[in-house]
Amino acid sequence: MTNPEPKIPGPDHRITIEDTGRRVLARVGAVVVADTTRALTLREADHPPVRYIPLEDVDPGLSAPSETHTYCPYKGDASYYSIALPDDGSLTDAVWTYRESYAAVASIANHVAFYTDRVQVTTEPA
Protein backbone atom coordinates (compact mmCIF):
# COMPACT_ATOMS: atom_id res chain seq x y z
CA MET A 1 0.00 0.00 0.00
CA THR A 2 2.91 2.35 0.65
CA ASN A 3 3.91 4.84 -2.03
CA PRO A 4 7.64 4.30 -2.70
CA GLU A 5 8.28 8.05 -2.87
CA PRO A 6 7.16 9.75 0.35
CA LYS A 7 6.57 13.48 0.32
CA ILE A 8 8.87 15.51 2.56
CA PRO A 9 7.31 18.24 4.70
CA GLY A 10 8.51 21.71 3.71
CA PRO A 11 7.38 25.31 3.27
CA ASP A 12 4.36 24.27 1.16
CA HIS A 13 3.26 21.58 3.67
CA ARG A 14 4.69 22.07 7.14
CA ILE A 15 4.64 19.36 9.79
CA THR A 16 5.98 19.92 13.28
CA ILE A 17 5.99 17.54 16.23
CA GLU A 18 6.67 18.55 19.83
CA ASP A 19 6.17 17.20 23.32
CA THR A 20 2.78 18.27 24.58
CA GLY A 21 4.29 18.74 28.04
CA ARG A 22 1.03 18.15 29.90
CA ARG A 23 -1.28 15.32 30.83
CA VAL A 24 -3.58 14.21 28.01
CA LEU A 25 -6.69 12.08 28.53
CA ALA A 26 -8.79 10.33 25.90
CA ARG A 27 -12.23 9.18 26.97
CA VAL A 28 -15.58 8.08 25.72
CA GLY A 29 -18.14 9.31 28.22
CA ALA A 30 -16.82 8.27 31.63
CA VAL A 31 -14.52 5.56 30.21
CA VAL A 32 -10.85 6.57 30.10
CA VAL A 33 -9.28 5.03 27.00
CA ALA A 34 -5.83 6.62 27.38
CA ASP A 35 -3.97 8.64 30.02
CA THR A 36 -0.48 9.99 29.43
CA THR A 37 2.05 12.67 30.20
CA ARG A 38 4.08 11.61 27.15
CA ALA A 39 1.84 12.83 24.32
CA LEU A 40 3.18 14.50 21.20
CA THR A 41 1.41 17.30 19.36
CA LEU A 42 1.58 17.13 15.57
CA ARG A 43 0.76 20.26 13.60
CA GLU A 44 0.30 19.74 9.88
CA ALA A 45 -0.33 22.46 7.31
CA ASP A 46 -3.77 24.01 7.93
CA HIS A 47 -5.14 21.08 9.96
CA PRO A 48 -5.96 21.37 13.69
CA PRO A 49 -3.25 20.02 16.02
CA VAL A 50 -3.44 16.29 16.76
CA ARG A 51 -2.32 14.65 20.01
CA TYR A 52 -0.42 11.40 19.51
CA ILE A 53 -0.38 9.17 22.60
CA PRO A 54 2.09 6.32 23.15
CA LEU A 55 0.38 3.00 22.46
CA GLU A 56 1.54 1.76 25.89
CA ASP A 57 -0.63 4.46 27.52
CA VAL A 58 -3.84 3.22 25.90
CA ASP A 59 -5.96 0.75 27.88
CA PRO A 60 -5.30 -2.51 25.98
CA GLY A 61 -8.61 -3.98 27.09
CA LEU A 62 -10.50 -1.26 25.23
CA SER A 63 -8.89 -1.33 21.81
CA ALA A 64 -8.88 -3.92 19.06
CA PRO A 65 -7.09 -3.73 15.71
CA SER A 66 -9.33 -3.35 12.70
CA GLU A 67 -8.80 -4.32 9.08
CA THR A 68 -8.79 -0.68 7.93
CA HIS A 69 -5.63 0.85 6.48
CA THR A 70 -5.06 4.20 4.80
CA TYR A 71 -2.08 6.00 3.34
CA CYS A 72 -0.64 9.48 3.88
CA PRO A 73 2.15 10.55 1.53
CA TYR A 74 3.78 12.51 4.39
CA LYS A 75 3.42 9.98 7.21
CA GLY A 76 3.07 6.53 5.63
CA ASP A 77 0.63 3.65 6.13
CA ALA A 78 -1.95 4.06 8.88
CA SER A 79 -3.57 1.18 10.76
CA TYR A 80 -6.77 1.56 12.73
CA TYR A 81 -8.22 0.36 16.01
CA SER A 82 -11.77 0.18 17.23
CA ILE A 83 -12.70 0.97 20.81
CA ALA A 84 -14.69 -1.73 22.60
CA LEU A 85 -16.73 -0.15 25.37
CA PRO A 86 -17.70 -1.97 28.57
CA ASP A 87 -21.42 -1.71 27.72
CA ASP A 88 -20.81 -3.82 24.58
CA GLY A 89 -20.73 -0.75 22.36
CA SER A 90 -17.98 -0.21 19.84
CA LEU A 91 -16.49 2.75 18.06
CA THR A 92 -15.18 1.38 14.78
CA ASP A 93 -11.92 2.85 13.49
CA ALA A 94 -11.87 5.61 16.10
CA VAL A 95 -8.09 5.35 16.55
CA TRP A 96 -5.22 5.39 14.06
CA THR A 97 -1.49 4.79 14.21
CA TYR A 98 1.54 4.93 11.95
CA ARG A 99 3.45 1.91 13.23
CA GLU A 100 6.35 2.55 10.89
CA SER A 101 6.01 6.21 9.98
CA TYR A 102 8.23 7.94 7.46
CA ALA A 103 11.53 9.37 8.71
CA ALA A 104 10.29 12.97 8.70
CA VAL A 105 7.70 12.06 11.36
CA ALA A 106 9.49 9.12 12.99
CA SER A 107 8.62 10.25 16.52
CA ILE A 108 4.91 9.39 16.06
CA ALA A 109 5.65 5.72 15.36
CA ASN A 110 3.95 3.51 17.98
CA HIS A 111 1.70 6.40 19.02
CA VAL A 112 -2.04 6.63 18.40
CA ALA A 113 -4.41 9.45 17.64
CA PHE A 114 -8.16 9.61 18.12
CA TYR A 115 -10.97 11.00 15.99
CA THR A 116 -12.14 13.80 18.26
CA ASP A 117 -15.69 13.67 16.94
CA ARG A 118 -15.97 10.26 18.68
CA VAL A 119 -13.40 10.41 21.48
CA GLN A 120 -12.94 13.36 23.83
CA VAL A 121 -9.25 14.25 23.99
CA THR A 122 -8.40 16.80 26.66
CA THR A 123 -5.13 18.39 27.67
CA GLU A 124 -4.73 19.60 31.24
CA PRO A 125 -3.94 23.28 31.62
CA ALA A 126 -0.33 24.26 32.23
Quote the CA–CA distance of 34 and 70 in Å, as a whole number: 23
Q: How confident is the model at residue 91 (pLDDT cuts 50, 70, 90)?
A: very high
The residue type of 54 is: P
Instruction: Quote the pTM value.
Output: 0.93
List domains and CATH numbers for the chain: 15-123 (2.170.150.40)
Tens-digit pLDDT profile for residues 3-57: 568 999 999 999 999 999 999 999 999 999 999 999 999 999 999 999 999 999 9
Could you read off the pLDDT of 95-107 as tens digits, one per residue? Answer: 999 999 999 999 9
Q: How confident is the model at residue 2 (pLDDT cuts 50, 70, 90)?
A: very low
Residues 6+ apart with CB under 8 A from 52: 17, 39, 40, 41, 42, 108, 111, 112, 113
